[in-house]
Structure 1
């Protein structure tokens, strides 16, 4: 269940009473999501962080509001470092992602003096460690993992994370594939099609237009089962899963597919794909595969390939020019080879960095 109230500590002074190394008159506070200047400043910091790390910025105001809005604060908390003039120079955000796993966003302004920038980073990390203990205690855990990301070419971030007790644990290839209009014919109909005892279809919609809950639960169950043995897989409740995916600015209910085997008396859900919209300000939008999973017992029957062909055909039908996804560089499933054979290429690389925090000293 999603808690009615946040598990996090909302007062940064409780966690960082004496900010380490900050210049005089700099302060630690929470951002104001109703203040358009705060939101604009956070967006600017995040986009500059992305441009430095991979060469271009993709985030916008909606992505920032996912982190700082009142709705987002049910499972998130934020902190900022302000200079004497009140300008935000650094931003940290934590997300109670699943039992045992807390995500951490760590952004410090580019161009700051090295000593000041490092002090800002130390403040963000100290605050995040305090939040890890707080949320871990609320969940009844002995150890709470902090999971943060970095671009592969961001040496400054790597240096800070390593010095703060984080360990680089995984590499991820962020991939994209072009889509052409004629690929609408890759499958008979992206909404539903069958072949050789397999059916791929969109989740059903009720009379109100909302998705069928049984179908949504099947998607959740398939993905939980498909990733149970994968790297850093943590059990996520159905409510947590649904709440998190609906927060994404690109979320659309008509981008959720189920794959079913038709061998028995009843269709058996064995695969699922959840995609969203990647909006563009300078050309056609794209589709992005947030999740694709196939139960181990059904692998080797073309389920994953069928789901991918479906999302490509759907993108072509919508006039989109690309489909993106993320793949674990060390995936044991052979996913990298499948994606490569179907035209996906790596556009940039990211890393996961972890730190395990004892909940009680």
Structure 2
């Protein structure tokens, strides 16, 4: 099952067209693209990312696989990257953009923490200028009048906040990154993580064929439920089924046996999909792995039936059965559904806080491609 994606990238591949000249960079410094086949480039990007995380929240969590999601050839139709190299060709700043959904472009902005303030600021400006040009390119390709750049920052990263404000971004949302410890005895929290039911609600893994691949209709149901469940949530943008599946499969922790559907059994012969949970495996260099809830959504008409709690109980039991020690997730600090109350009641606590920063870029010119 290969998702149908645009035949070519919507991004501009020519750096000169997007960045132009930057005389402010120190002599001998260059603007370039990273090479995923160069182990030195990948190693340097990994160190930059981990330093960025360590400074922002106190510890690093990403690894080589997370970097390769951004820079490898497999993601080139939906992503683009830029780096700033010093006179010794060492990468000192990195920008990555992701054509996530119609009108929404994600942007990663990382600058070496060891640079002098004035040089770091110039590198930051290069990344912002490049991202603006890419927003125009992808917005034009999609036939839009305005393209949103969506980037993030850790709550306590003052340097990043100053740069974002100076580049015209607005802080628009906060997100609680929550963690719940898991104990081995919780493997029996539900009768079976493959399929179980209670009080007219059934939770089950998405079906699998003889070839081990997931049932296409089940994946469609997962996508449809999540699209409907989040339609009125903050910054929700319609994402096609193909974009959704491709993006989730890119995650280094992706596992088909971490996708669950919840169904109402009010009509026994016609179970109604009303909830979905997609999780991933999170690796750890110092202890057991964990599970991360990438998505959990419940249709409005089914709320109050215990669907969300049943799905969360299932992912906890699954993590315990796999010998994992935690389940983590992200929740909107201003969620209108009160989901945080459910999480806290089930044992989740906030580990750190991240923020969303947005900038709307006007798109000019004639679209070069419709996507």
TM-score (norm 1): 0.99
In 1, Cα distance between equivalents of 2:222 and 2:284:
28
Shift of 1:72: 1.3
Contact 1:13 1:28 in 2 (8 A): no
Paired residue total: 361
Unaligned runs of 5+ in 1: none
Matched, 1:24 2:27: yes
Matched, 1:336 2:340: yes
Equivalence for 1:104:
107
Corresponding residue SS for 1:80: strand
Shift of 1:31: 0.7
Match of 1:287 among 278, 288, 291: 291
In 2, Cα distance between equivalents of 1:79 and 1:23:
17
Corresponding residue SS for 2:73: coil
Shift of 1:184: 1.0
In 2, Cα distance between equivalents of 1:314 and 1:339:
17
Runs of 4+ in structure 1 off by over 2 angstroms are none
Give CA deviations for 1:167-218 in whole Å, capped at 9, x if unaligned.
Answer: 0000000000000011111110011001011100000001111000000000
Matched, 1:270 2:270: no
In 1, Cα distance between equivalents of 2:210 and 2:39:
38
Corresponding residue SS for 2:257: strand
Match of 1:172 among 175, 182, 196: 175
In 2, Cα distance between equivalents of 1:166 and 1:23:
26
In 2, Cα distance between equivalents of 1:20 and 1:97:
32
Written as runs of structure 1 = structure 2, the 5 A alignment for 1:250-265 is 250-264=253-267, 265=269
Contact 1:20 1:123 in 2 (8 A): no
Written as runs of structure 1 = structure 2, the 5 A alignment for 1:1-361 is 1-19=4-22, 21-264=24-267, 265-360=269-364
In 2, Cα distance between equivalents of 1:159 and 1:122:
12
TM-score (norm 2): 0.96
Shift of 1:20: 5.9
Shift of 1:21: 2.4
In 2, Cα distance between equivalents of 1:179 and 1:142:
47
In 2, Cα distance between equivalents of 1:82 and 1:313:
47
Contact 1:105 1:149 in 2 (8 A): yes
Deviates more, 1:319-328 or 1:5-14: 5-14
Unaligned runs of 5+ in 2: 366-371
Give CA deviations for 1:136-191 in whole Å, capped at 9, x if unaligned.
Answer: 00000000000000000000000000000000000000000000011111110011
Corresponding residue SS for 1:209: coil
Give CA deviations for 1:198-254 in whole Å, capped at 9, x if unaligned.
Answer: 100000001111000000000000000000000000000000000000000000000
